[in-house]
Amino acid sequence: MGQRIILVVFLFLTLILSGQHQYVTNKGHESLEKAIYVSHEIIEGRTAFFERQAEEKPLMFQKTKVLIGELNRLSNNVKSFIDTIQKEVNTERVVYDLLQENHYKKLLFTPQGKLTKRAKKLKVKLDSLYNFSLRVNVHKLSQLENFTKEHFKTDNEYYDFEEQKLSFFDHLFYDKTNYGIMMSMYYLILDVQTFQLLYYGTVMSY
């Protein structure tokens, strides 16, 4: 079962890497919505499994159950925050180009290019998830460390094709069109879910 989870994670990572910032059609969000739904179902199933194990073998699994509970809480904080924004903006309005230009951008960036209050709240939630990932990675596994550093470490520095320095959020939302930011939001949810699945896979391998 652990190998199956790792396979699913690999497929999600492939989707993320191949699709990032390449929104060829306005149907790309549908594939991401399906991937998010499937990964959510897997996470729910794995969580229920560890809860049963903790009840049957508390000495062996109680600590793992607590860590998973906190990981899921912090992950859900990020996902719920994004879901709230997505529902407010409304996916159909984005897809059918019914929003004013830069509507999404204005939710996250000020006219001076700084983070808005909403974006700062998202940053706090990502920082909390990243800091917890350091604590939960007790075996110092490079796949977990590298993944969280790349996707959740908000003080990372990035560079564009012209070698201009980018902040984490400018990198994450490199395409600042309404559709581009919406897609990046979906990818961020997938990043969070992928980390959850990666962690489940490592726990089940021990």
Quick: pLDDT tens for 35-59: 999 999 999 999 999 999 899 999 8
pLDDT of residue 47: 94
Domains of the chain, by residue range, sit at 2-204
pTM here is 0.87
pLDDT at 1: 47
Dihedral angle, C-alpha 53, 61, 143, 123, nearest 10 °:
100
What's the pLDDT score for residue 9? 54
Task: Report H helices in the chain.
Answer: 2-19, 28-56, 58-89, 91-95, 103-108, 117-136, 142-152, 168-172, 178-204
Residue with tokens 């490199």: 174
The DSSP output letter for 42 is H
* Of the candidates 202, 188, 199, the residue with the CA atom closest to the CA atom of residue 35: 188
Helix (H, G, I), strand (E, B) or coil at 109: strand
CB 205 within 8 A of CB 2: yes
pLDDT given for residue 4 in this prediction: 46
Distance CA 194, CA 188 (A): 10
Instruction: Identify the pLDDT of residue 2.
Output: 47
Residue 10: closest CA among 199, 169, 198, 156: 198
Mind listing the pLDDT tens digit of every residue in the chain (206 residues)?
444 445 555 555 555 544 444 444 567 888 899 999 999 999 999 999 999 989 999 988 888 899 999 999 999 999 999 999 999 999 999 999 999 999 999 999 999 999 999 999 999 999 999 999 999 998 899 999 999 999 999 999 899 888 899 999 999 999 999 999 999 999 999 999 999 999 998 887 65
Provide the 10 A C-beta neighbour count for residue 113: 10
